[in-house]
Structures are given as structure tokens and as C-alpha cells.
Amino acid sequence: MNLMANILINVITSFLGGSLLLGLHRKIMARIQLRPGPPIIQYLLHSLKFFFKETSLPKTASPVFYISIVCILAGIWTTGVIVGPVTQGSLLIMFGIYAVYKIVEHNMGSSSGSPYGKLSCVRAVFSAASEIPLFAVVALIFFQTGTLSIAGIIHYQSVNGPLIFTIPLAGVMFFILLLTKSPYSPFAITKGKELISGYETEHFGFLRGFLMFSESIAWFIMSWLFLTLFFGPLSVVYYVIGMIAITVVTAFINATSPLLNPNHSVMLQITIAFVCIVGTIIMMVV
Amino acid sequence: MDISSLGGDFLGIIPLGDIVLYLTPFHLFMCVVMLLFTFLICISKTETQVEASFGKLEDTKVSVGLNEFKQRRFLSIICGIATAGAMITGDLFNFTLFMALIGIVNIGIVSAVKQTSVLNAAYQYGLIAMMCSLPLFGGAAIILASTGTLSLFELSNLATTSAMTVFGALLLLIGILGESGVAPFFATKAEMFRTPGSPFLVIIHLSSLFVVIRAIEILLIIIKVI
Amino acid sequence: MNKQKIISYTLLLVSILAIVYALIFNPADWIVYGIAIVFIPCFILSFGILTMAKPIDDEKEERDEEPFIGY
């Protein structure tokens, strides 16, 4: 197939799929909390709705970064689509994309001049310190499979069976990372409700729609990555089932657990990362 | 070990004397992102930070003065270029040099601010960065002494890793963690972000994250478990 | 037509042309990647600037001054 067509189809699929998954996430959380909740399609409608809303530039903002950071977020997740489903390239690039995602949280918060965004920006630095060790899961995968190319890892799993059976603790680490990025997560200290919407507070109007577009792609690609890295070569049906399962599980966790305070969130993530890294290395040696 | 198993398809080498630079999509992506951010820093103005006043129902607006702005922007651009260099270099010693430069410039970006708490944080970060330059350069020196080369391209072609090389790599890791101020040293660094000037703060954070990712690649090249 | 509109229309046109060029002429892989990464966000950005509602002139000052509205 034509490469550009492939990329476009994948970007649109991940946007639509990611939006529906996040809508489902909200719906399930609502039902657990005994509310009717919005329809599943609501997230998608919201992202489109924002494109027609009133938008203006705050006087206190740093204009270049205020707008370009949203484009950068879309750009990196387009790269994510290319490195992930389209070419199945290197996992290290995915790591880089994740790092830029953290930077976007940081800069989107500080570039508006709002106190809520600023607090979120400082918290993004704290949370990066614990999420980056969690992403060190790529090193564990490398020790097990000898490659960091996603295509190579899929091939390894088709020969040796899914990685979730050989290095389950690494799977736990990646799942915690996914959980951190899900809405209303106990670890989402940058978006905590005491900061209104954290770093997203000042990005209203079409910029918010743009942001939601990228975030749905991000959710789709990260669950795709989790399924691909730990459950081996899967067909489309299993991807759909797996993504829905991940969304349901994270929704259950988020609906029933409180938002952690920043120190506790960081310490818990660091502890999980440490236990899982040491545990995986012990399992590999034994 | 094949380098392309880490960073993606091998794009080519740039032979510069005995230092062979090599390119993969990973290095290209990181370098381009860094240069993009550096360019945005060049053209952007700072934001005005709104803070609550103590004892009054008013907001205080804190902005960056012109002299401070010029100084911090210059240092931020240097930091961006140094990080882009650290992303693309194929030589371990160059990497440590870029790393040391990033550490020094990061302190500089923050020390232009006239706020005591921020200056305190910068001072503490500076102490750690200074102490960690010993393991940083020492690690690189031990790797050179035990393998006879500092070129990552050559290091990736070695068949085995001796215990001394692993020791050197661990020292290097400690040095990088300290210089870039990530966990467990992140507490002092997070304090530095309480000042206005978002374009300059972003480069401090971005440089340390990217350097850690590149360091993981370098350590996986040096230490051969498989 | 103000400056902002002209720039956004130009950007929209350029990004559509670039994407269509990559679709039809099938250039080298790295050019396609470049076009996708740069022009898909550009397309959405310019589209957003064109479709967004602007504050009416009486309220414009107020909107810029008091941005911290949350939702």
C-alpha cells in the first residue's frame, strides 16, 4: 500500500479508536460510581466540538510555545503512529516520544502563566523522575529478546511465546505507565482536580480540541504498544479485545482509587519500578 | 552486537578522523527534536507568571527583565545545541563533555534569577553536578583503559565485556544521573522550576530526559549481557 | 481578510498539497515521514484557526486579560 495512505489511515484509526476507548473509559467509571455517564461517543464529539469554540490568546502567555507545544504533541504522536503500527521501528524512539510527552505536560503548564499550569509544570518534573524509570522496561525487554526493534520483538514472541509469561513484572511496569496516562488516574498528579485541569487548564477553544485529538492517539498507541510488546503477534480482533480490556481495567482502578498526593505517587511508582526491575533480573538469572 | 537492533535501521556513518559518527532513526529523531526546541526558544518571548499575593486579594505578576532574558536565552540555546550534540555523537568522550557542558549551562540558566529559593536549589544542584563529574569522566577513562577505544561504533563490535568495563559503565551511569539531576537527585532540580521563563525551563528538563535516554542506549552498547 | 486568516489559508493549502503530493507521487520513504510529521499537525492547526469562533470586539480585552476560566 501507498505509505502516506497507510500513515493517514493509521492516524485516523488511532484517533477514532482512541476517542471511543476514552469515551468507554468515562462511561465505565460513571457506571461504577452509580451515575448514568455520558454516551461512549461523547469524547469524540467533545474533541470535534472544541474546534468551533471561542479561542483567544491569554495576555500573560508566551505566544510561540503556547501554540506550538500543541502542534508538537500532535507531531510526536504522528511519529508514534509511524514508529508503531506503520513501520514497527525502534522502541528507543518510542521512549523519546514518551519523554517529549512529559515535556509537553511541563511546557504547556508553564507557557500560559497560570498558577494552576505552573504547579502542574513543577509536578511534571517530579512525575518524570518516576515515569522514566518505569520506561526503563525497554532495557529489560532488550535483555530478554536481544533487540529493541518492535518487528524483532514480535518475531521473538512468535518463536518463543508471549513475553508476559517470561517477564511478567516488566509487563506490570508498562501497565503502571498506561495507568498513569489514563484519565482520572491515581498517579495523574499533573492533571489533579485541585489544579482545575492541571496543564490543560489554559488551553481552551480549538487548542483543547487539538490536544484531545493527540491524547486519543496517545492512548491508542500506548495500549497498542503494551499488547504488541507483551502478547506477541495478535490479529485485529484480539487487538480490539485487548484494548477494550485495558480500558475496562484502568477504568475500574481509577473509579475506585483516590488521587494520590504527589510525593506518594512518585514514591509508589519508584517502588514499583525498583521491585519489578530487580524481580525481573532475578527471574532472568534463575 | 548490531547497532541497528537498538536504534532502528542503520542510516550511515560520518567518518571524522578516528571518531566515527553513526546515524540511526533514533539519533536523528532526538537530534531534530532538540534543534526544533532550540529554534523555538530563539524566537519565543517569556510568559508573565501570575501568583497569589500574601494577605491581599490581588494577583502579583512576575515577569523576566530584559537583561536576565538575554542572558538566559543565550545559555538556553547553548544548552540546546549541546544536547543535540550529545544525541548524535558517536564518541564516548564527546558525550561526557557535552554532558558536563549541559550541567554547567543548566546552573547558569537558573542562576540569573534573583530569587533566593531558586538560587539555593541551583547551588545544591551545582554541588551534585560538580561531584558527579568525577565518576562521569572517570567512567569514560576506565572504559578507554579497559577496551582501548572510546568510539561507540568500535565498542559495539567488541565480542565480550570485561568486569572493569562494566565497572566503568556503572560509574558513567552515576555521573550521568548526577549531572542531569534526575532521580534520586531530582528534588533540588524541581525547585528550580518555580521561576518564570518557561522557554528556558523547558530546555533544562528536556536536556536531562533526552540525555538519560541516550545514556541507556550507550550503556546497552557497552554492556553485553547477551 | 486579516493577516491571520491569510496565513492559515496558505498553511492549509500547503499542507493539503504536500499530503496529496505524497499520496499520488509516492516519493522516498523519509520524505513521506517528514511530510506526515510536519504537515498533519499543520493541517489541523490551520483548520482549527479557521473554524474557531473569535470573541466579539467588546469582549476581546476581557478575554485576553482574564484567561483563567478553567472549563
The answer to whether residue B175 is domain-embedded is yes
- Residue B24: is its pLDDT beyond 60? yes
CB contact under 8 A, C70 and A201: yes
The answer to whether residue B53 is domain-embedded is no
Kindly indicate the confidence band of residue A224, based on its pLDDT and cuts at 50, 70 and 90: very high
Q: Which residue of A has its CA nearest to C30?
A: A3
CB contacts, 8 Å: A210 with chain C = 44-45, 48
Neighbours of A244 (CB within 10 A): 14
CB contacts, 8 Å: A2 with chain C = 23, 26
Q: Are A12 and C44 in contact (CB under 8 A)?
A: no
For B51, the 3-state DSSP assignment is strand
The answer to whether residue B23 is domain-embedded is yes
Min Cα separation C2/chain A (Å): 16
Min Cα separation A91/chain B (Å): 8
Taking residues B14-18, report their average pLDDT: 73
Residue A154, chain B, CB below 8 Å: the answer is no
Q: Is the peptide bond before A38 cis (omega within 30 degrees of 0)?
A: no
Using one digit for the tens of pLDDT, what is the confidence trace for A91-111? 888 888 998 998 998 898 888
pLDDT for residue B188: 64
pLDDT for residue A9: 92
The answer to whether residue B54 is domain-embedded is no
Q: Which residue of C has its CA nearest to A59?
A: C64
Q: Which of C5, C39, C68 to mutate to test the interface with A (most CBs of A within 10 A)?
A: C68
Using one digit for the tens of pLDDT, what is the confidence trace for A51-70? 888 887 888 888 888 889 99
Min Cα separation A31/chain B (Å): 38
Domains: count for chain A: 1
Rounded-to-integer distance, Cα A131 and Cα B28, Å: 24
Chain A adjacent subunits, 3+ CB pairs under 8 A: B, C
DSSP letter string, C19-38 = HHHHHHH---HHHHHHHHHH
Residue C60, chain A, CB below 8 Å: the answer is yes
Using one digit for the tens of pLDDT, what is the confidence trace for A226-285? 999 898 788 899 999 999 999 999 999 999 988 888 888 888 888 898 898 899 888 888
Write the single-letter amino acid at B75.
Answer: L
The answer to whether residue B200 is domain-embedded is yes
The boundaries of the domain holding residue A72 are 3-285
pLDDT for residue C71: 36
Chain B adjacent subunits, 3+ CB pairs under 8 A: A
CB pairs under 8 A between A and C: 103
Kindly indicate the confidence band of residue A137, based on its pLDDT and cuts at 50, 70 and 90: confident
Secondary structure in 3-state letters for A156-200: HHHHHCCHHHHCHHHHHHHHHHHHHHCCCCCCCHHHCHHHCCHHH
In degrees, rounded to 5, the angle at the alpha carbon of residue A39 between the alpha carbons of residues A36 and A40 is: 120
CB contacts, 8 Å: A132 with chain B = 182-183, 209, 212
Domains: count for chain B: 1
For C64, which of A53, A58, A207 is closest by C-beta distance? A58
Beta-bridge partners for B62: B49
Q: Out of A63-67, B41-45, B112-116, pick the least confident.
A: B112-116
CB contact under 8 A, A74 and C41: yes
CB contact under 8 A, C48 and A201: no
Rounded-to-integer distance, Cα A108 and Cα C1, Å: 30
Q: pTM for the full model?
A: 0.91
Taking residues A212-220, report their average pLDDT: 92
Min Cα separation B209/chain A (Å): 6
For C53, which of A54, A201, A210 is closest by C-beta distance? A54
Rounded-to-integer distance, Cα C20 and Cα A249, Å: 40
DSSP letter string, A212-234 = HHHHHHHHHHHHHHHHHHHH-S-
Q: Which residues have a Cβ under 8 Å from the Cβ of B222 and sit 6 or more positions away?
A: B143, B155, B161, B165, B168, B169
Taking residues C6-30, report their average pLDDT: 89
pLDDT for residue A233: 86
CB contact under 8 A, C38 and A54: no
Neighbours of A3 (CB within 10 A): 21
Q: Which of A92, A148, A268 to mutate to test the interface with B (most CBs of B within 10 A)?
A: A92
For A53, which of C37, C52, C64 is closest by C-beta distance? C52
Q: Are A248 and A87 in contact (CB under 8 A)?
A: no
CB contact under 8 A, C64 and A71: no
Taking residues B44-48, report their average pLDDT: 83
CB contact under 8 A, A103 and B209: yes
| Furthest C-alpha separation in chain B | 69
The answer to whether residue B34 is domain-embedded is yes
